[in-house]
Amino acid sequence: MKIKHVTIVGIAALAISACGGPAASNTTATAGAAANTTAAPAASAAPATAGAGATAEAATTSGDPALVVASVGNATLTRGELDARIKRIQDAVEKQSQGAQKPTATQIEPSLVELFFDEHLTLAVAKDKSVGVEDADVENQIKKIDESMKAQGSTLEDAIQGQLGFESSTDPNFRQLVTAIVAREKISSTLVTTDTVEKEVRATVEQQGKEEIEKANVRHILVATEEEAKKVIERLDKGEKFEDLAKELSTDPGSKDNGGLYENVEKGQMVAEFDKATFEDLQPGETTKEPVKTQYGYHVMHLDSRTKGPRYTPEQIEENIKQQLEYAVYQKQQEALQKLLDEKRAALKTANQLVEPVYPTPTVAVPGELPSDLQPAEGTAEAAPEATAEATAEATVTP
């Protein structure tokens, strides 16, 4: 499995905490030392807000389009910029949802403001660490986002307008957002390496692999009624082969073509009645004399074999380590980077170089269903893969 690190997706939840956040400032990245390099904007003195004693609440409620709602160093988010983006999101959502009620500004605004902070704090940390992002990096990232959107049946422009509130992919603020996304990946890759995590992951997976569990190879024929199941048993008693009847009669698409067979079923994996028949009632080579009823119907079951031993083979352990290691490194990188962002935020706030409004907990993040294919953890975080492809396939089967 390849972790999909930073993309446009995660933006609606907490921007750069998983991917990157929308830029809505009036300050774009300045030219770096090289002509094709974009550097993070400097975190200089904070711009003037709605008066020396103005509160964050005043900035969020004022209708003055020039009023600064939020700032990180010299990067600002004004009332006018924020309102324009909110309107684009509302219009896009209303259009795409065919007349459904559009989200309110109160629902959208807190998320956009927090995304602004995540983006510009990342750019500030990138500048501190002399991390540059080349134009080619930005173009490649936009291309990846575009391809992923198309694979989801959407378009890059729809996502930019409906989830971020930018005008288009050529908007300088969108390109600065992508700059932050790439910068985040570059920074995080230096904070935690595979070597520092592998020992911990290996110890955990090897311990899991050594756990003694019961496994069974069991066949079943699933039918709708008890009467049908009894007729199956009668045909078996007359000498017909279990595998042939499974292919002919079973309504379970997951096993019928394989003669009703489920291999390496772990104790506790299946529904209770099926599990009891497999691990308590039947002995290897035996077939149920009466149908086994579950929520899925009536089962005629045959136990091929049952064993007790380590959960995973050595080969499976190594595959699990490989899968979990990539995710563990990614998670620890994000944690380390978030710590840097939090420290930067606190330092700028102490130096009066950060203006932040205070909102109640938003009930709705930036609207629009995000394409799951782009998420970094097949998840939002992405869930750590804990088994091989074979084990995963088994775990999904529940007759």
- Total domains in the chain come to 2
**310, 338, 372: which is the final residue of a domain?**
310
Residues 300 and 331 in one domain: no
- What is the reported pLDDT for 99? 66
CA angle 292, 293, 298 (to 5 degrees): 80
Least-confidence region, from 10-24, 191-205, 266-280, 365-379: 10-24
Mean pLDDT of 309-330: 88
For the domain that residue 283 is a member of, what is the CATH number? Answer: 3.10.50.40
Kindly tell me if the per-residue pLDDT of 126 is higher than 90: yes
Which of 246, 251, 236 has its CA nearest to residue 287? 236
**254, 279, 310: which is the final residue of a domain?**
310
What tens digit of pLDDT does each residue of 31-88 get? 223 233 333 333 333 333 433 333 344 345 557 898 899 999 999 999 999 999 999 9
- What is the reported pLDDT for 259? 97
- What is the reported pLDDT for 361? 55
CA angle 2, 5, 6 (to 5 degrees): 150
Rounded to an integer, what distance in angstroms lies between the CA atom of residue 116 and that of residue 16? 9
Kindly tell me if the per-residue pLDDT of 256 is higher than 90: yes
- pLDDT more than 70, % of the chain: 73
- What is the reported pLDDT for 289? 96
Q: Predicted confidence band at 312 (pLDDT cuts at 50, 70, 90)? A: confident
- What is the reported pLDDT for 298? 98
The domain in which residue 258 lies consists of: 212-310
- Does residue 180 lie within any of the structural domains? yes
What tens digit of pLDDT does each residue of 265-289 get? 999 999 999 999 999 999 999 999 9
Residues 238 and 133 in one domain: no
Residues 43 and 125 in one domain: yes
**Within 13 Å of residue 170, how many CA atoms lie on the same side as its CB?**
0
**264, 284, 310: which is the final residue of a domain?**
310
- What is the reported pLDDT for 22? 30
Residues 139 and 227 in one domain: no
- Does residue 206 lie within any of the structural domains? no
Q: What is the full DSSP assignment across 216-229?
A: EEEEEEEESSHHHH
- Does residue 199 lie within any of the structural domains? no
- Does residue 1 lie within any of the structural domains? no
Q: What is the full DSSP assignment across 125-140?
A: HHHHTT--EEHHHHHH
Residues 140 and 92 in one domain: yes
Q: Predicted confidence band at 295 (pLDDT cuts at 50, 70, 90)? A: very high
- Does residue 158 lie within any of the structural domains? yes
Least-confidence region, from 57-66, 89-98, 125-134, 345-354: 57-66
Entry pTM: 0.55
What tens digit of pLDDT does each residue of 205-247 get? 988 888 889 999 999 999 999 999 999 999 999 999 999 999 9
Residues 85 and 119 in one domain: yes
- Does residue 152 lie within any of the structural domains? yes
Any idea what DSSP says for residue 79?
A: H
